[in-house]
């Protein structure tokens, strides 16, 4: 099934009721999904054939589940996520908005809409949703989240509670609120159930503490990090942490001819940070430009590099 056909299956009544949802497939000549923090329009990326076919088949199944029971929370969540996997982030936000109207006390709806607000660079809206999700967690037991069709095979799944706190920390970090970001990442670390989650939370907590000027405390959070940790899907975060500890050199994370776009954004952003922490802002800026010249503009490292470039450019104009 082609993308246009699969998306067209989403019922008109749902699309009409979802704020900001547009009919029809995205096009490089049409609407952008977001605007970068530097002012450039961002369009849905063209997917390789095999990947696109897998995601289209997944969307077809998600719609079938929704059609059987359009009020079911799980069906709405998976439809929204499946649309998002194909790069329709604004449409995904609309579907999660419909889910919030039908299930206003379900933290999962706010968690996933908050994630997609981060993707489209609406950090205040993301923080608002994720704060509400965090409030609702008190009445919602933790659970593992269903894997994406493209998730790393064998990697442990993240949990709902982890993802709410983790994405809340990201929303604060990306808008430069490093005091509140610590709160999100500390809670994410507290509810981590495996090393993949731990290295992700420690990594962003370390960067947040460094940005807040709490250098000694930042060093202390690195103490549990070793090369022997049982990390199966978040090796890029582990490598960044080992670089911050001085175990591996920064240049080892810059691999222009190896690794996918997300890996390059994640590891490259860490190198840019290392230069910033060591008072080499010109080299940091050069790395951030490299990160934001790659294709995967949805990666958190890419978005964070944009945010830092905007801060550096504004500082230079003063």
- pLDDT for the residue numbered 31: 84
Decide if 225 is inside a domain: no
Other CB atoms within 10 A of residue 20 CB: 10
Q: What is the pLDDT of residues 265-307, one digit of tens each?
A: 999 999 999 999 999 999 999 999 999 998 889 999 999 999 9
With tokens 């500390």, the residue in question is: 186
CB 255 within 8 A of CB 264: yes
Decide if 33 is inside a domain: yes
Q: Count of domains in the chain?
A: 2
Decide if 213 is inside a domain: no
pLDDT grade, residue 255 (50/70/90)? low
- Residue numbers of the domain that contains 46: 1-104
Q: Does the reported pTM lie above 0.75? A: yes
Domain end, chosen from 80, 104, 128, is at 104
* pLDDT higher at 209 or 153: 209
Q: CA-CA distance, 36 to 307, in Å (whole number)?
A: 9
Decide if 190 is inside a domain: no
Q: What is the pLDDT of residues 187-198, one digit of tens each?
A: 999 999 999 999
- pLDDT of residue 69 exceeding 60: yes
Domain end, chosen from 82, 104, 126, is at 104
- Range from 15-19, 59-63, 143-147, 176-180 carrying the lowest mean pLDDT: 15-19
Decide if 292 is inside a domain: yes
- pLDDT for the residue numbered 281: 92
- pLDDT of residue 13 exceeding 50: no
Structure tokens at 245: 């500890």
With tokens 């099934």, the residue in question is: 1
pLDDT grade, residue 6 (50/70/90)? very low
Question: What is the DSSP track for the chain?
Answer: --HHHHHHTS-HHHHHHSTT--SS---TTS--SEE-TTS-EE-PPPPPHHHHHHHHHHHHHHHHHHHH-TT-HHHHHHHHHHHHHTT-HHHHHHHHHHHHHH-TT-HHHHHHHHHHHHHTT-HHHHHHHHHHHHHHGGGS---BPPPPTTSPTTPPPPBHHHHHHHHHHHHHHHTT-HHHHHHHHHHHHHT--SHHHHHHHHHHHHHHHHHTT-HHHHHHHTTT--TTS--SS-HHHHHHHHHHHTSS-GGGG--TTSS-HHHHHHHHHHHHHHHHHTT-HHHHHHHHHHHTTSS-TTSHHHHHHHHHHHHHHHHHH-
- pLDDT for the residue numbered 284: 95
Domain end, chosen from 77, 104, 131, is at 104
Decide if 184 is inside a domain: no
Query: 313 burial class (0-12, 13-18, 19+ CB within 10 angstroms)?
Result: exposed
């Amino acid at each position: 099934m082609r993308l246009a056909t699969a998306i067209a299956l989403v019922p008109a009544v749902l699309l009409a009721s979802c704020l900001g949802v547009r009919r029809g497939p995205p096009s490089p000549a049409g609407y952008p999904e977001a605007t970068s923090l530097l002012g450039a329009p961002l369009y849905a990326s063209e997917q390789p054939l095999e990947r696109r076919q897998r995601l289209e088949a997944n969307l077809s199944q998600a719609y079938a589940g929704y059609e059987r029971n359009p009020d079911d929370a799980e069906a709405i969540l998976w439809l929204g996520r499946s649309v998002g996997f194909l790069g329709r982030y604004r449409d995904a936000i609309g579907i999660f908005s419909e889910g919030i109207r039908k299930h206003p006390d379900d933290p999962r709806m706010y968690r996933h809409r908050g994630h997609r607000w981060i993707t489209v660079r609406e950090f205040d809206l993301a923080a608002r949703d994720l704060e509400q999700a965090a409030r609702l967690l008190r009445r919602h037991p933790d659970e593992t989240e269903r894997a994406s069709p493209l998730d790393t095979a064998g990697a442990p799944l993240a949990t709902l509670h982890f993802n709410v706190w983790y994405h809340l920390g990201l929303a604060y970090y990306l808008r430069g609120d490093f005091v509140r970001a610590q709160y999100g990442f500390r809670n994410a670390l507290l509810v981590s159930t495996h090393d993949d989650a731990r290295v992700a939370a420690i990594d962003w907590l370390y960067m947040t503490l460094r940005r807040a000027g709490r250098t000694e405390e930042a060093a202390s959070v690195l103490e549990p990090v070793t090369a022997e940790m049982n990390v199966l899907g978040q090796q890029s975060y582990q490598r960044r942490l080992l670089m911050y500890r001085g175990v591996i050199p920064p240049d080892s994370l810059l691999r222009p001819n190896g690794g996918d776009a997300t890996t390059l954004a994640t590891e490259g952003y860490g190198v840019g940070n290392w230069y910033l922490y060591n008072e080499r802002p010109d080299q940091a800026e050069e790395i951030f430009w490299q990160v934001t010249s790659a294709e995967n503009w949805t990666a958190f490292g890419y978005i964070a590099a944009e945010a830092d470039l905007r801060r550096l450019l504004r500082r230079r104009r003063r």
